[in-house]
Structure 1
Amino acid sequence: MPVIIVEGPKADEETKRKLVKKITEVVREVYGVHHVSVVIHENETENVGVDGELLSDVLRRRTQR
């Protein structure tokens, strides 16, 4: 049984539902298996670094333009 771990931003329940469904469909098609587990890890933007900066700082700067 494949276990897929998704690291991403916070999302509402409907978004997670869609994500799990689509990922499961693709994994089933590619691996030819029935059982697939998807684990979603939500990350706060202040816990993610991009190019040496916190993602929260990058996003804040974008909204100030």
Structure 2
Amino acid sequence: MPVITVEAGKLNKEQKRELVKNLTLEASNIMSVPKEAIIVFLKEISTENIGSGGQLLSDRK
């Protein structure tokens, strides 16, 4: 059973729905496994918990 994990900033429900659908379909096609075997985990990370270039993303404007 393939597992796909995506870590990203905040997503709305429609974005999540589309992401899970497209990742599942593509992985199913590429790996030749049924889409029911694909598991997708979405992990939303607050910009307060992401740093880039020495700064929190929440501090950037």
* TM-score, L = length of structure 1: 0.84
Give the CA deviation at 1:15.
0.8
Identity of aligned residues (%): 44
Q: What stretches of structure 2 of length at least 5 have no aligned partner?
A: none
Q: Deviations over 1:12-50 (max 9, x none)?
A: 111100000010011011111111000000010010011
User: Is 1:27 equivalent to 2:27 in the alignment?
Assistant: yes
For the residues of structure 2 that align with 1:10 and 1:42, how far apart are their CA atoms?
A: 5
Aligned-residue CA RMSD (Å): 0.9
Amino acid at match of 2:42: I
- Give 5+ residue unaligned stretches, structure 1: 61-65
Specify the code of the residue in structure 1 equivalent to 2:58. Answer: S
TM-score, reference length from structure 2: 0.89
Structure of greater Rg: 1
Instruction: State yes or no: 1:42 paired with 2:56.
Output: no
